[in-house]
Amino acid sequence: MTTTAGSMLSCTVDGAVATVLINHPPANTLTPELLAELSTTFDQVAKDEALKVVVLTGTGRFFIAGADIRVLASITSSKEGEAMALQGQAILDRIEGVGKPVIAAINGICLGGGLELALCCHIRLAAEGSRLGQPEINLGIMPGFGGTQRLARTIGQSKAMELILTGEPISAQEAKAIGLVSEVVPPEDLLRQAQGLARTIASKGQVAVRASLRAIRQGIELNLHDGLALEARLFGALCDTADRREGLSAFLEKRQPHFMDR
């Protein structure tokens, strides 16, 4: 087990699973500096072939409470605001497109840019007592790091409209009911369950994991016909892999497969 650390986050590696811990007290606000550290960390994760799954979580009562209000207040023009939004979007796009499953373990307050960060992760678990929302409307602005796009694609347009236009947060239980998170767990079990899920995914053949990730991520942007065609191409490519042969052999021989990720 090894650990690398920046000033606002740490990355602990255990086998094939990396756990990225946001530690920017008092509320884990999403500053430009924290975004830069996240970008650097996920660049390193992408390059490390030994890492197969990432868990992203925060410290204390906060996943991320939102963007730094002082930074928002410092914007002096529409051009500057657009540039900030594009930079944040690019970093979150990088996390979503890292090529490995990213699990958000939402440990508490998850608002504004924090929810936008969680939305770019592929799977979301939440601790009981967490609050999630997009309160930007209360500041006279709107989500700018992808919230209007990813939230509607995740929970549907009507509920996304409600959350964004009212700015009201919801509970972890409601977040599960509308499909924003997949599980709600006791706070003391959150990281253990997220890491257990990560280990389960890491134990699968990673060629198939990456193909599935691509089919879901890219396919949701396509019409059904083109999405099915993408699925068929990726399925066909997997039929030529050593992992496919091993998986079928293991099943027929009633043993655990030993995937080689090729």
Residue 96 known to be catalytic: no
- In the set 49, 80, 82, 116, the catalytic residue is 116
CB 165 within 8 A of CB 133: no
Catalytic hit among 37, 96, 136, 231: 136
CB 38 within 8 A of CB 4: no
Is 116 a catalytic site residue? yes
- Residues identified as active-site: 116, 136
